[in-house]
Amino acid sequence: MKSKDQKFLLYKVLFFKLLNLFLFSFLFFSCNSEINQNPETYRNPIISGFAPDPSICRVDNNFYLVNSTFEYFPGIPIYHSKDLINWKLIGNAFDTIHQNVKMDTINSSAGIHASTIRYHNKLFYIITTNNLNGNMVNFILISDKPEGPWSRPYILNNAPGIDPSLFFNDDGKVWYTGSHVPPDPEFDGQAEIWMQELSLDQMQLVGKKYYLTRGFSGGTWAEGPHIYKYGDYYYLMISEGGTLHNHAVTISASKTITGPYIANDRNPILTHRHLSLDHPIIAVGHGDLIQTQEGDWHMVVLGFRPIEKKHKNLGRETFLLPVTWETEPYWWKEEKIRWPVCSPKTGRVEYEYPVPFHGTRQVKINEFNDDFNEEKLNVEWNFRRTPTAPFHSLIEKPGFLRLYLKEGFIAEQAQYSFVGIRQRHFQMEIKSKMEFVPLGDEEAGVIVIQNDRSAYIMSLMDGKITLNHFYHGKKSILVSHPYENSTVFWKISADYLNYDFSYSQDGKSWIMFFDDVDGSKLSPESSGWTYTGVYVGMYGTSNSSISKNYADFDWFYYIGSSQ
């Protein structure tokens, strides 16, 4: 039997272990996540930093959401949620070059446009457009698991235009809807929504094409169509007005799926076009509706959060808003239709709403850390364009990401050695440790990039560290310091439009390399229009020579704040 002193010592040790566990948990969640202080509300955006064109589906109590990715690869991220407010990235719909999605020489903001995800008969379907520099290819991917693996693309013949969607009808028929430029547009920018039956056996469109509408609120860029069934009616919801300030969501209804469709007199059902240009959330649109098992309705939409009323560095993000249905009150109408009402209290997308499910709480994960100990890249990482050949390795030096240097510098339609993640916060910091022995003009380091026209690169070259700004085809050295070591620690900090660049020899004592770099150059207003958002990551180039050299990155750390 233990003595009283032994028992006291045992309890004392146990107490301090529990105390340490509590303090560790508190610090972990304080540093890695942001818990909404009001348990009854959630805060938009639900997916921040380059998450445009959201589409959503439900399987029992699970929700799945996808976004457009344009020139980035792997493409079409798939997020999972149980409560519509906490989302986890679980995979990408195409993540292997063997799927033969040919995006190796596409322009900035070409590539994957406006994907739609649907679930039917134990299978997930994603349908999307691949814009190959103006040649629109619509295809379908299929999987029995949302995280993948996904099938090869089933390319659809005679499917012109963009923004395809699928609707699985009660009678077993499957319908394709899309947007195209009509042969006789009434004005520049007019588009038309069309529909055709899809044969799942042939994985091709069959039968007659139906032309449904050219829009209900001006008709400019009628796009992003989705079909829903509610009560006795089919509803056609589309976006109009382009993807800037005039963006809007409109809706129409029909008792026959192929129409004719009756426009809602209250269109648009969602827009911020009537608000001031300096509103904190702008250009909302491209919505998709979802119903919970409890019968409640919600909509996901894209929108910008501009910096200083203008700059759109983070790109379009995903917002969630409540939806109710109301029957028309007009006594003179024989046919009274129920219509969705978006954000019923205010009619606009708000930063804060009541949580969709009582008892849930929003926890936003603000940190990403990769020590490269896996044999496959984390799903957060992207390349620019599909690689023609592998230029990275996680097995050549275990515990490191080896980035092989490609010839040439950043350029339109080019292949270059880049691995990055989305900048998801206006205020953020990244750090990384790199080992690299440059030869000749070779360089490697870290990068902040908007598109092929604007990027800041802090890199180690032969005997020096440099900060370059690549801007519209020209490479300018902003600062250069002597540096003789082959190991360097990198740090980049962002505070809205101000970026600071630092380096260190030991990871403890930091040298401010250049502060308050102009982040407005990473905005579409100055870098040239883009559908994407800012990325941060790792970069290397042999510049003008062919090289077998490489840079090894030991780890990469990202933390953000101030959603």
Contacts of 78 (CB under 8 A, 6+ apart): 64, 65, 66, 89, 90, 91, 92, 93, 117, 146, 147, 148
pLDDT at 397: 97
CA angle 150–106–537, rounded 5-degree value: 75
pLDDT at 217: 76
Quick check: helix, strand or coil at residue 527? helix
Strand partners for 303: 317
Give the residue with greater pLDDT, 34 vs 40: 40
CA angle 132–421–408, rounded 5-degree value: 60
pLDDT at 148: 96
Measured from the Cβ of residue 548, the count of other Cβ atoms closer than 10 Å reads 8
Measured from the Cβ of residue 131, the count of other Cβ atoms closer than 10 Å reads 22
Q: Identify the helix (H) or strand (E) that includes residue 20.
A: helix 4-32
Q: Residue with structure tokens 């919505």?
A: 287
Distance CA 23, CA 45 (A): 30
349 to 66, 251, 260, 323, 382: CA distances (angstroms)? 20, 17, 30, 11, 30
pLDDT digits (tens, 9 = 90+) for 292-305: 999 999 999 999 99
Quick check: helix, strand or coil at residue 486? coil
pLDDT digits (tens, 9 = 90+) for 394-450: 999 999 999 999 988 898 889 999 999 999 999 999 999 999 999 999 999 999 999
Average pLDDT, the chain: 92
pLDDT digits (tens, 9 = 90+) for 207-247: 999 999 999 877 799 999 999 999 999 999 999 999 999 99
Contacts of 11 (CB under 8 A, 6+ apart): none
Counting Cα atoms < 13 Å in the Cβ hemisphere of 95 gives 18
83 labelled catalytic? no
Q: Which of 166, 167, 108, 113 is nearest to 136 (CA)?
A: 113
Q: Which of 523, 47, 76, 40 is nearest to 317 (CA)?
A: 47
Distance CA 459, CA 383 (A): 18
Distance CA 465, CA 483 (A): 6
pLDDT at 218: 76
Which amino acid is residue 341, in one-letter code? V
Structure tokens at 3: 């003595």
pLDDT at 97: 83
Distance CA 162, CA 181 (A): 9
C-alpha torsion sign, points 22, 28, 31, 34: negative
441 labelled catalytic? no
Quick check: helix, strand or coil at residue 30? helix
Phi, psi (deg, nearest 5) at residue 29: -70, -30
Catalytic residue among 34, 71, 163, 223: 223
Contacts of 23 (CB under 8 A, 6+ apart): none
pLDDT at 101: 84
pLDDT at 408: 81
CB 457 within 8 A of CB 447: yes
pLDDT at 2: 42
Q: Identify the helix (H) or strand (E) that includes residue 10.
A: helix 4-32
Computed on alpha carbons and rounded to an integer, the radius of gyration of the chain in Å comes to: 25
206 to 173, 196, 201, 202: CA distances (angstroms)? 11, 7, 11, 9
pLDDT band at 15 (very low <50, low <70, confident <90, very high): very low
Q: Which of 418, 436, 427 is nearest to 536 (CA)?
A: 418
Counting every residue written for the chain, the total comes to 563
The 10 Å CB-count burial string (b at 16+, else e) for 387-414 is beeebbebeeeeebbbbbbbeebbeeee
CB 267 within 8 A of CB 217: yes
pLDDT at 419: 98
Residue 6 has pLDDT above 70, yes or no: no
Q: Which domains does the chain have, with CATH numbers?
A: 37-364 (2.115.10.20), 367-561 (2.60.120.200)
